[in-house]
Amino acid sequence: MDRADYLRKIRQDIRFDATLAGVALSFVTTWGLFSPRAIDEGTELLLRHIEVDPGDDCFDLGCGYGPIGLTLASLASEGRTLMVDRDFVAVDYAARNAELNGIGNAHAQLSNGFQHVEPTLRFDLVASNVPAKVGRELLMILLDDACRRLRPGGRIWVVSITGLRRLFERELKATFGNYAKVKQGKRYTVSMAVKQGASSF
């Protein structure tokens, strides 16, 4: 294959199938998105351990092309799932993948964290595969916003590189007053926290 043919090939959408938390899904992706050829290890770990109720309203923070959000929407079929990303290409592919899989209770929206999300919306579950390069300042903002948007008893589930587990423990405890390490692997750690008490927001 010559260079011109190869360029034509790699400009086409990438397509693959995956089973996540027992849900069979098909994906279209493209170069430039995170982990475009297969589901990454952190996302797989998170979805192996996350607990979702059928009626949960879910929020996928930094959705990429949608593997977490579409899994949540499938598991929480009686609720609604909002997927957000600050990358318009990711949002486009997440919306396409929702349509491809016939998942009508998932919606993708462009937003920098919660910044551009309708202020009145509240959720039962927030999930995120947090980028390794997240800084403490951004993490503080994202966790504080998540706490404000969760209903009492709502849960936040995050997966991060294991080297950041202490940072996540500190910041989840500072924001939510509690923290649970769900699963620690060599490369990634899944953590969660619960919003306690009545909402003051």
Radius of gyration of the chain (CA): 17
In whole numbers, what is the pLDDT of the chain averaged over residues?
95
Mean pLDDT to the nearest integer, 83-89 = 97
When pLDDT is cut at 50, 70 and 90, the band that residue 1 belongs to is confident
Q: Which helix (H) or strand (E) holds 139?
A: helix 136-149
From residue 188, alpha-carbon distances to 52, 161, 181 in Å are: 20, 4, 11
Alpha helices in 21-81 (DSSP H): 41-49, 67-75
Domains and CATH numbers, the chain: 17-194 (3.40.50.150)
Task: Determine the pLDDT at residue 123.
Answer: 98
The model's pTM is 0.95
pLDDT digit string (tens) for 109-157?
999 999 999 999 999 999 999 988 888 999 999 999 999 999 999 999 9
